[in-house]
A = this chain, B = another copy of it.
């Protein structure tokens, strides 16, 4: 009963990649895992844009790091990026969200993105979720309608030679788990 837990431990943010392209069948299974994700009222409020055309990919990659702070430069190495666009959920979900003041599509996008990354981990591929990017230029480069929102971007590729599995640094179990009272 620990197969999934082991996969969770294997999945990590990968920040160095080989230039080798990703096998289309492997990419397809990652996208399939995301497509089959659950979502509030089964709204599936997402579109996944794979960016693997080299010139375009580099242009998009350059909008995911700050030239001043210069973090995330590794994004340039990834042979593919996947842009998770948030779509409007169903009317019933929107009404519920309004009444209860919940942003369900963000929860849904998180689930779909993690499905993608977990399948990639099973394939021996590396991913990193990016929440920091310049949304406007990327939307323009990819012809995403101005009123839509990008939830996050995922890098995908083969981890660089010698890339090691790190030990996860997490809060202790007793710090995050409670029983019957906060």
The chain A residues found within 8 Å of chain B, CB to CB, are: 1-5, 7-9, 11-13, 26, 29, 31-33, 35-38, 40, 42, 44, 46-53, 56, 85, 96-97, 100, 102-104, 106-111, 113-115, 117-119, 122-123, 129, 131-133, 135, 142-145, 148, 151-152, 168-171, 173, 176-182
How many subunits of this chain does the assembly comprise?
2
Distance of A86 Cα from B125 Cα, bound (Å):
30
Cβ contacts under 8 Å, A145 to chain B? 182
Distance of A67 Cα from B16 Cα, bound (Å):
53
Task: Give, as a whole number of angstroms, the nearest-CB distance from A172 to chain B.
Answer: 9
Cβ contacts under 8 Å, A111 to chain B? 110-111, 113-114
Closest 8 CB pairs of A and B: A110-B110, A107-B110, A106-B106, A111-B114, A144-B182, A4-B122, A110-B111, A143-B182
